[in-house]
Structure 1
Amino acid sequence: MIFYGNIFSQNLNDYKYIIVPESYDILGKTNQYQLNALTKFLFEKNGFQTIMKTETWPEDLQQNPCLGVSPVLVENSGLFVTKMHIELQDCKGITVYKTREGKSKEKEFQAAYQESFRDAFQNLADLQYEYKSNSGIAESVKKSSEISSVIEDKNITSEAKTEVVSESESDVAHEVVAAKKNDLPAGSEVEGNLYSLENSQWIYGDAVFELRAYNSNYALFQLNAPEPIALLLKTNKPNEFVYRSLLNSGTVSYRKNSGIEISYFDSGTNQQKSLLLKSKD
């Protein structure tokens, strides 16, 4: 049975994770029109816990993929209007939730796809989502050999987190920085108030990035961009963060009078790499 809008809110609470793909079938390319990054951002903004499809899954999701649902886009565009709706499918590929149809009359492709996606997503934004463990879903993996094969397919090691690797250093910086924009104003103490990081700007090469507050963490934006490149998640140390971008993950730390050091795994070379961001001021 497929549910629409608020009717499904209680059922959606049974699912712990949103498993975000690197690309949608209707488009094909990785993060085309930044739609997959937008997917991750909007779900997390509205209280859902997301995990990338090719990322190493949490232990409970590895043991039971039925704890997660995956978004699928269904397009029904005409000549002058871009139209799509979002479906959430469970571990067996069954559609358990369907949004209304989002529409856009924008002529530029990226603007049109993002606007219609946001319009469709409003159903999900209106839900007061709160995960509540469901014993039936929690035990379902133990009774299905079909699901066991899914675990083997989805349990990706950290060395294989990305299928597409940026071809230039600036592209890598874009993804990495997107993943971590941890910054204290230049010259300030590491132990300074974390809120002093808000709206600070950092540079790598010719690229300028801005860190903005995001719930209790931070989001990293390329200057003047409407959507974040990545999230910066706080740890128990005020000068160290975990970063999450669409394709990469790693760690970031601040060093006084030095800058922000980003460490990440480059799947193209199978090597650990580091980048240093400097304060724009």
Structure 2
Amino acid sequence: MKNLLFIILFIGFHAIGAQKLSDYKYLLVPQNFKDFQDNQFELNSALVKKLKAKGYEVIQNENGILPEELKQDPCQAAVVNLVKSGNIFKTKLTFEAKDCNNKVLFSQQGASDEKDFEMGYNEALQNILKSIPNSLPLFKTSDVKVIFVEKTEPVVVKPLEKIEPSSIVEQKAEEKTSINNSQNYMNGNVNLKKILLGNNRFILVSANSSIPYATFTESTKEGVYRVVLENGLMTLGYLENGNYVIEITNKDGSFRKVIFEKN
């Protein structure tokens, strides 16, 4: 008897309990902060330069292209932001770093008495940078590969036994449970299997490929996921009527839905 089995190979190590900014290797720094567009006052470039000096690998790819480590696990990166927090009497700036679940890992405010905005914000940033710790990452390289193999089991002939009616009922119940736990999803002719990875993550993978079609990581909103596709692009996915929906960006910037129906 041949059964199709899958084997999940984890190469390297995942992060263990990353709870502070210094645990991270990668920082996602947007090219345009909401409060400071187009590198206003050169805050963006000054911040990136200092973070690199502290050992962080800064990612600023707005097109979603990521290193291999982040393709498999987006939670290996913290997201950075600079926010205006002053008033007419004092120039203030707040630095925030959050994890993939939007939890604040590090927050620090800097202030300046300078009335000139450019000088004031840069002085506030320099005060903040003194408090940012060096990178001492817990994260190591991690890849996920799924290998499907055929397992041949010997056929054992057993003596005939008397089967009680209750045993037949129990056996049918077990078979029904097994069917109900099936984790197969389809989109047209594409048939994918859902495989749980732990740490609020799962993948959809084809039996014909060792690379996941999509890796899902739970967000802070129930039923909504951060998704990394097999080509490395990041997008959103969500659960709708028991099916998984992935938003794909078209060339014109609009979105289309790709639906994987449970079967």
Q: TM-score range by the shorter chain?
A: 0.3 to 0.5
Q: Which of the two has greater strand per residue? A: 2
Q: Which of the two has greater helix per residue? A: 1
Larger Rg: 2
- The two structures have a TM-score, normalised by structure 2, of 0.47
- The two structures have a TM-score, normalised by structure 1, of 0.44
Which protein has greater RCO, CA pairs closer than 8 Å, 6+ apart?
A: 2
